[in-house]
Amino acid sequence: MTELRPFGRTGVKVSPLTLGAMNFGARGNSDHADGIRIIHRALDAGINVIDTADAYSQGESETIVGKALADGRRDEVFLATKVHMQIGDNPNHRGNSRRWIIREVENSLRRLQTDHVDLYQIHRPDADTDVDDTLGALTDLVRQGKIRYFGTSCFPPSAIVEGQWIAQRRGRERVVSEQPPYSLLNRGIEREVLPVAQQYGLAVIPWSPLAGGWLSGRYHRGLTEPISLRAARQPGRFDPTLPANAAKLAAVEQLAALAQEAGLSLIHLALAFVLEHPAITSAIIGPRTLEHLESQLGAEKVSLSQDVLDRIDEIVPPGTILNQADAGYQPPSITDPARRRRQGVTPAR
C-alpha cells in the first residue's frame, strides 16, 4: 500500500506520484485504448491523482482520462485539470478572465465525463487579468460544486503571496496548491517558491521531475540533434549543442554515475530526489507508454542517503537552474521589450 501524503491543509490524502496526462492524445500517444491501459495500470499501482489540462492536445487528453474513469473508477481519483492556454483561434479562448474560466470549466467537465473537478489549476499567470477577478470566478465555481479546490502552476513567489493576501482581504476561497517545474537539473524553486508554499501550507505537485527526459537515461555525450518529439518542439530546452544544455548533459553524466553507485536507475534517483524535499507533495510523471510508466513506478519507495544527497548538491548546487529555458514561465517584464524601455523619450544630452 502506497503511503499517502497530505495535500496541503485540505485534509485530502494523495499518492507521492501523480499521473500526468500531457502525453495522451495527438501531442504524444494518440491511441486512446493504450492511454486508458496506462491510466488503469497507474491506479492499480496505487496512484490516486491524475493531472491533465484543457490545452493538452486541445482537449483530447481530458477526453482519454474521462473514458478511463467512466468505468466506475472516478471516485478513486483526485482529478486535476487546468485552464489558461489558448484553445482554438478565438483570442478570448485563453487566459484567466472570469468569462473564459466559467465557460471552459464546462468544456472540461464534459470531456472528463464528471460533474466536478477536484483541483482546477490556473496554468500560468496572466498579467492582463485582475487577480481578484480570477479568484472571484474560481470561488464561485467552488461554491457551485463544480470544483472542490483550485491551484496555480508556474506562479512566482510574489504572485503566490498576492493570491493569498487577496483571498483573505476579499473573502475569496484561497489557492491550495502550486505546480512548478522541479528536477535535479532545475532547482530554482528551492530559493523562494518552496519556502513560500510551506509558509502558507500549500501542496506542491511539481512537473517534469525527469527534466523532460534528460534524466531518463536517453541523453549522453555525442548527441548532435533532438531525440524526441518534445525535444524537436522545444529546441531551447533540448538542443545539445547549446552551452546551457551542454552543462545539463555534463550533470546528467555525473548523476548517472552516482545512481549506478547507489544501485538505482537514473529515473528512480531523479524521482526520489524530488520527493525528498519536505515541501513536495506529489511528483507528476508523464509517461507516453506503459513501459515508461513501469520504469517510474516504485520510485516513491526509494530513500536516498545523506551521502547521496550531498553528492547531488555538489553536482547541481541547491537553487540552481542550469538552463533558464526550463523555468516554465518568464514574465512579460522579461519577454516584452516594450515593458523595459521608455518609448519616445528623448535622451538627455
> Which residues are known to be catalytic?
56
Q: Cα(67)–Cα(13) distance, rounded to whole angstroms?
A: 24
Q: Cα(69)–Cα(40) distance, rounded to whole angstroms?
A: 9
Q: Cα(306)–Cα(61) distance, rounded to whole angstroms?
A: 39
Secondary structure of the chain: what % helix, strand, coil (to 5)? 45, 15, 40
Helix (H) or strand (E) holding 142, with range, is helix 131-144
For residue 246, what is its C-alpha cell? 551542454
What three-state secondary structure class fits 238? helix
Q: Cα(140)–Cα(94) distance, rounded to whole angstroms?
A: 19
Q: Cα(91)–Cα(280) distance, rounded to whole angstroms?
A: 35
Residues ≥6 apart with Cβ < 8 Å to 304: 262, 269, 272, 273, 276, 312
Q: Cα(199)–Cα(34) distance, rounded to whole angstroms?
A: 41
- Which amino acid is present at 206? P
* Residue carrying C-alpha cell 546528467: 252
Q: Cα(207)–Cα(179) distance, rounded to whole angstroms?
A: 7
